Each structure stands twice: as structure tokens, then as C-alpha cells.
């Protein structure tokens, strides 16, 4: 069942603001869609922010604040719908045309989302910072310049960013778990339990790797190295950067 509440308040003209910002309107939307534990959340946004936290309810609850001029808000919609075992959130839905084709074809959107604790995440954003806490499942994250914080992680992760920093804090490290991060210039901070076991692979043109946990180096070259963490195991920690540096913390 869907419940939707929409509130629109006119923007206030403020001295010193650009004309485009001075006449922005604000739209507040809440929606709830059922989703069983073990389902998938697919989320796409451009600017604003994204915050996702775990809940013990079998639903996805969305609280969104959208900012743009009134015509753009009317033309570009927040789309929230169920697709099989997935819930899809598109912050810039248009009936036709690309969702990031032109700057004036996007709406700045702050998204607060609650999902079942066991949910797989597929998130694609451009410049919206992403914060996720307490989700147990697989993570697929794509950003351009967004900061990413994944806290209390249980599950495997694939994260890609051009210039945004990536901070991953694993609550547990189970057999076969993997963390795979690819950035151009964004720094990566990884926090894993002291009991973590696995293989660490690092590739970079000019970035550096620092670890608070002991590593046993198995091979290294000018731009890559491979090491064992905690004596080795079937866990995989792989990071590739061009100039971003990596720190492994406990």
C-alpha cells in the first residue's frame, strides 16, 4: 500500500541570493512501499543527500525534501514504486529524456529512507552525499563526487567513485565477504574488526596504503601490492585508485 503526503511551500526571496535560488520552492513528500526482508532497494539521485538506515519493518519508508522552481517540480517527479522484489526510487523521473541531460533537468533532493535490515542496495548518485547505517546485505554504490559513508556494514561491497571519499566501517567480517573499491582521486578509509581475515590487494598510480592492522606482504611492485590480513583467509579487500590514498583501521 502506498501512502503519499505532499506539502509545497513557496520560497522566500533573500538578499544576495542568485535569482534561481531566490525563487526556489520546496516540496515535502512521504511515501511507504512494502518490501520483504532480503529484497532490493534501487535508488538514483543527482544532488542533495541520501541517508538510509535499517528498520525492523517490512517496508521502505521515504521522506523527501525537493527544492527547485515550481515548473521544474511539476515536470520532474519523485518516483517511488515496487518492481517485483525491489523498490525503486528515482529522484528525477521524467517521462522522456535523460535524468542528468541538463543541469535544469534535475531537482535537488534530500532523501531519508528506512529499509528492512536485510536489504540489498543498488545506489547511483552524482553529487549527493550518501550515508548508510546498519544494513545487512550486498552494497553496490556508484557516485561521481559524492562522499560515501557505510556504517555498521554486514555484507559484501562494490563501490565506485571519481572524486568522492569512501568510508566503510564493517561491523563483522564473515567468510567469503568482499570489499571492492575503485576511485580516481577519492581517499578510502576502511575499518574492519581485528578478527578480520583475508587478502588485501591495492593498485594505485600515486596513492598510498596505510594500515593499523598487521599485513604480511606477499608481492609488491611500484604501483600494486598484495598482502595477507590476519594471517589470510577467504575474505577479499581490493582497492584501486589513481591518486587516492587508503587507510585500513581497526
The pLDDT tens digits along the chain (250 residues) read: 444 433 333 333 333 334 344 457 999 999 999 999 999 999 999 999 999 999 999 999 999 999 999 999 999 999 999 999 999 999 999 866 544 445 567 999 999 999 999 999 999 999 999 999 999 999 999 999 999 999 999 999 999 999 999 999 999 877 788 999 999 999 999 999 888 889 999 999 999 999 998 999 888 887 899 999 988 888 899 999 999 999 999 8
Asked whether residue 8 is assigned to any structural domain, the reply reads yes
**Domain, as residue range, for 142:** 4-197
Asked whether residue 9 is assigned to any structural domain, the reply reads yes
Asked whether residue 242 is assigned to any structural domain, the reply reads no
CA–CA separation, 250 vs 190, rounded Å? 8
Of 153, 160, 76, which is closest to residue 126 (Cα–Cα)?
160
Check residue 156 and give its pLDDT. Answer: 95
Of 32, 43, 55, 33, which is closest to residue 118 (Cα–Cα)?
55
Q: How many CB atoms lie within 10 A of CB 63?
A: 16
Q: How many CB atoms lie within 10 A of CB 85?
A: 11
Asked whether residue 249 is assigned to any structural domain, the reply reads no
The total number of structural domains that make up the chain: 1
Asked whether residue 218 is assigned to any structural domain, the reply reads no
Asked whether residue 215 is assigned to any structural domain, the reply reads no
Asked whether residue 20 is assigned to any structural domain, the reply reads yes
Predicted model pTM: 0.85
Check residue 7 and give its pLDDT. Answer: 36
Asked whether residue 188 is assigned to any structural domain, the reply reads yes
Nearest-5° Cα angle at 182, 181 to 185: 120
Check residue 22 and give its pLDDT. Answer: 45
Check residue 247 and give its pLDDT. Answer: 95
Three cell numbers written together for 242: 589513481
Amino acid at each position: 500500500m502506498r501512502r503519499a503526503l505532499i506539502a509545497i511551500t513557496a520560497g522566500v526571496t533573500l538578499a544576495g541570493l542568485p535569482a534561481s535560488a531566490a525563487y526556489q520552492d520546496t516540496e515535502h513528500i512521504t511515501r511507504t512501499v512494502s518490501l520483504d526482508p532480503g529484497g532490493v532497494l534501487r535508488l538514483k539521485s543527482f544532488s542533495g543527500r541520501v541517508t538510509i538506515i535499517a528498520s525492523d519493518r517490512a517496508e521502505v519508508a521515504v521522506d523527501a525534501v525537493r527544492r527547485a522552481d515550481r515548473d521544474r517540480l511539476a515536470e520532474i517527479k519523485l518516483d517511488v514504486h515496487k518492481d517485483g522484489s525491489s523498490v525503486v526510487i528515482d529522484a528525477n523521473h521524467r517521462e522522456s529524456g535523460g535524468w542528468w541531460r541538463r543541469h535544469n533537468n534535475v531537482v535537488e533532493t534530500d532523501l531519508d529512507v528506512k529499509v528492512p535490515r536485510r536489504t540489498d542496495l543498488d545506489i547511483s548518485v552524482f553529487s549527493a552525499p550518501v550515508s548508510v547505517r546498519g544494513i545487512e546485505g550486498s552494497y553496490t554504490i556508484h557516485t561521481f563526487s559524492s562522499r560515501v559513508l557505510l556504517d555498521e556494514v554486514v555484507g559484501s561491497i562494490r563501490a565506485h567513485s571519481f572524486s568522492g571519499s569512501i568510508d566503510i566501517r564493517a561491523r563483522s567480517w564473515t567468510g567469503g565477504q568482499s570489499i571492492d573499491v575503485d576511485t580516481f582521486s577519492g581517499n578510502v578509509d576502511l575499518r574492519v574488526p581485528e578478527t578480520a581475515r583475508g587478502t588485501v590487494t591495492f593498485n594505485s598510480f600515486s596513492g598510498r596504503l596505510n594500515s593499523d592492522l598487521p599485513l604480511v606482504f606477499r608481492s609488491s611492485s611500484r604501483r600494486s601490492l598484495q598482502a595477507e590480513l590476519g594471517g589470510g583467509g577467504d575474505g577479499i579487500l581490493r582497492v584501486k585508485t589513481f591518486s587516492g590514498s587508503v587507510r585500513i583501521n581497526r
